[in-house]
């Protein structure tokens, strides 16, 4: 089975092609600057250097056509014909309360994705355009939607409700949804394979730490809580997002700075977080270098970041009624030994003993970082959301 995985942004299309016989990645790449000057398509062969093609790409239809063309390219392609593609799996950011799992796409699903665009106005519309574009060129190929939010639909009302008038929840669907669900699902499963834990009988805290960041509490294979909420701005301090914030702070700023809703939203999404505290960068590498040079605001930002994660781990361990494993993933979680060490320091009280020496050597590879006597496993697990999407797609198109 050959499965194409698509992740459409407003001006980009990321893609990966898998042979599901052995979960083999055949080719990956990105179409960038769609509808803008300087459009390009870059492919990343698994064992060769990247190759870039330049040329104007006006819309997502042309972008998908460019992807299919490069997959069958006489020199760089890996398929003889696009008819070899058995199915296409799409990352869709928001499924609201409508989708508890991945689904085959039909007209009803498409309509629901549009309805959920109110909750994810920057993400769902391009996700929808990608599906329509594939339909236009591969009309007979089944497509699957895999939602970032669906993994967290197992949260109980007491975990997902906001303490606002209940009528507003009923009217607008205002509640906590959570994101990064595909990543949390993938790394928690793979970490159980690594450690020998039974996924369906374990208490796991998954920390997806990247430009965006979230923490999830997973009990017996189901998400019971997560740090992101109605939008990805809630929870962890992130590169440019504030994370948890007293709403009174925001209304105070709006009043004093005389800014409207759009400007306030831009402030907490694009100019806050690590960038806002340091005034230097949203990139953890730059911040750590500045801290090493003695920059006090960078030191403060790192302390705040680690402290926020520790708070979530403590809270979620209480919600889970114990803890079997902590998982680190995402660009920071997989590669930043300083953050991992800071988070796990002084956690012996909960039975978590950390191998600081081994931790210094681990970059981007699956590894157990807890010591043999530790009652709580600590793992690093590189995420692979695209493979998870491909596996979900395969399950839905396979004949019973």
386/146 Cα distance (integer angstroms): 10
Residue 324: other Cβ atoms inside 10 A: 19
Q: Choose among 345, 270, 267, 335: nearest CA to 303.
A: 345
Give the CA distances from residue 378 to residues 209, 328, 330, in Å, rounded to whole numbers and listed in that order: 15, 8, 15
Catalytic residue at 58?
A: no
CA 393 to chain centre: 18
174/162 Cα distance (integer angstroms): 8
172/174 Cα distance (integer angstroms): 5
What is the SS3 string spanning 76-125?
CCCCCCHHHCCEEEEEECCCCCCCCCCEECCHHHHHHHHHHHHCCCCCHH
Give the CA distances from residue 21 to residues 26, 387, 400, in Å, rounded to whole numbers and listed in that order: 12, 13, 17
Q: Choose among 126, 231, 135, 219: nearest CA to 176.
A: 231
Catalytic residue (one of 22, 59, 148, 303): 148
How many residues are recorded in the chain?
A: 400
Contact 298, 287 (CB under 8 A): yes
Q: Which residues are catalytic?
A: 148
């Amino acid at each position: 089975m050959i499965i194409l995985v698509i992740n459409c942004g407003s001006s980009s299309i990321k893609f990966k092609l898998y042979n599901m016989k052995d979960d083999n990645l055949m080719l990956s790449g990105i179409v960038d600057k769609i509808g803008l000057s300087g459009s390009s398509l870059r492919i990343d062969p698994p064992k060769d250097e990247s190759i870039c093609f330049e040329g104007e790409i006006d819309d997502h239809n042309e972008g998908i056509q460019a992807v299919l063309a490069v997959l069958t390219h006489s020199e760089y392609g890996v398929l003889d014909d696009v008819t070899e593609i058995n199915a296409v799996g799409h990352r869709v950011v928001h499924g609201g309360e409508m989708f508890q799992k991945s689904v085959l796409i039909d007209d009803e699903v498409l309509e629901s994705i549009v309805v959920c665009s109110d909750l994810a106005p920057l993400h769902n519309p391009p996700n929808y355009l990608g599906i329509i574009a594939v339909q236009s060129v591969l009309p007979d190929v089944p497509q699957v939607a895999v939602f970032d939010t669906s993994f967290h639909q197992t949260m109980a009302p007491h975990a997902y409700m906001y303490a606002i008038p209940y009528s507003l929840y009923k009217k607008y669907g205002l509640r906590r949804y959570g994101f990064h669900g595909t990543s949390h699902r993938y790394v928690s499963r793979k970490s159980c394979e690594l450690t020998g834990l039974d996924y369906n009988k374990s208490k796991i805290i998954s920390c997806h730490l990247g430009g965006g960041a979230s923490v999830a509490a997973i009990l017996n294979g189901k998400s019971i809580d997560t740090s992101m909420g109605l939008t990805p701005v809630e929870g962890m301090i992130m590169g440019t997002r504030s994370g948890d914030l007293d709403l009174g702070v925001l209304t105070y700023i709006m009043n004093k700075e005389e800014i409207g809703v759009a400007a306030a939203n831009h402030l907490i999404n694009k100019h806050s977080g690590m960038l806002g505290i340091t005034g230097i960068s949203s990139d953890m590498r730059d911040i750590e270098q500045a801290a090493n040079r003695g920059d006090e605001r960078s030191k403060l930002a790192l302390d705040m970041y680690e402290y926020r994660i520790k708070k979530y781990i403590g809270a979620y361990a209480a919600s889970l009624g114990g803890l079997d494993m902590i998982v680190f993933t995402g660009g920071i979680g997989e590669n930043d030994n300083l953050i991992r060490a800071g988070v796990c320091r002084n956690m012996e009280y909960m039975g978590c003993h950390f191998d600081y020496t081994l931790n210094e050597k681990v970059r981007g590879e699956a590894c157990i970082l807890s010591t043999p006597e530790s009652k709580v496993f600590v793992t690093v697990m590189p995420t692979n959301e695209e493979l998870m999407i491909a596996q979900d797609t395969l399950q839905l198109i396979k004949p019973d």
